[in-house]
Amino acid sequence: MASKTPVGFIGLGNMGNPMAKNLVKHGYPVIVYDVFPEACKEFQDLGAQVTESPADVAERADRIITMLPSSPHAKEVYTGRNGILKKVKKGSLLIDSSTIDPAVSKELAKAAENTGAVFMDAPVSGGVGAARAGNLTFMVGGVEQEFNAAKELLTCMGSNVVYCGEVGTGQAAKICNNMLLAISMIGTAEAMNLGIRLGLDPKLLAKILNMSSGRCWSSDTYNPVPGVMEGVPSANNYQGGFGTTLMAKDLGLAQISATNTKTPVPLGSQAHQIYRMMCAKGYAMKDFSAVFQFLREEESL
């Protein structure tokens, strides 16, 4: 009967849409909400219930997953005037897959605890392609006794579900991963750009990098150079994927955490500045691998 228990899903954007669809595919009745009503239309056609607010979702489901753009959005959805915690049932399991400040996750967990609900942070890695394929990696923070209950749902959307520790540790793992991803993407873009200017064929250079010590996810799975790989944003004018704005946001979270813990992150800081410059120069809605195009144009860098 567990699979017949409704699951609430709030936030049907680039990542939330395929994640919620995978719950539907696994036989869960899904109750959805998004601030943009048009995002819900397709779920209505799939037989999902569409609600008017996060509070309405909490009234109808005692297991809710949220996938939101930033810390302010998460606060509004959980603690706002029509937020989840206004009508949440005691014992409800609330799983937030947004990437937000670990301190905000802890704050929301405390607020949820005061209502008798359980909050876990479970940010994801893998991007839109992995969300569609159900191959995401979830990094989960929260009460360990609740991990198996969360895992039942998360394995419908991901192939790796890892328990990280108390609330906030999932976010910590995610922002460390994304800081490294940003640095490696910039490094890949720089190396590819230099090689091309030295007369190397980009496909050949990528092949060499991927059989050598410079190989990384950014070079062998998500190459930023147009024409090197198919099925990645660089092959589609950097459309889709993981937006530059979101990468800049995640790097900002890493900077805040680094400041709070007095941790030196010189390359993370430089990556943050590069992605912020990209946002200011018209790349905000492009995939973050567009840093290759940005570097091609910014001779001064």
| C-alpha distances out from residue 145 to 81, 113, 142, Å | 30, 15, 9
Which residues is 136 bridged to in the sheet?
Answer: 158
* Beta-strand pair 7-10/63-66: parallel
Three-class SS string for the chain?
CHHHCCEEEECCCCCHHHHHHHHHHCCCCEEEECCCCHHHHHHHHCCCEECCCHHHHHHHCCEEEECCCCHHHHHHHHHCCCCHHHHCCCCCEEEECCCCCHHHHHHHHHHHHHCCCEEEECCEECHHHHHHHCCEEEEEECCHHHHHHHHHHHCCCEEEEEEEECCCHHHHHHHHHHHHHHHHHHHHHHHHHHHHHCCCCHHHHHHHHHCCCCCCHHHHCCCCCCCCCCCCHHHHCCCCCCEHHHHHHHHHHHHHHHHHCCCCCHHHHHHHHHHHHHHHHHHCCCEHHHHHHHHHHCCCC
Annotated active-site residue 203? The verdict is no
Question: 174, 203, 262, 286: which one is catalytic?
Answer: 174
Residues identified as active-site: 174
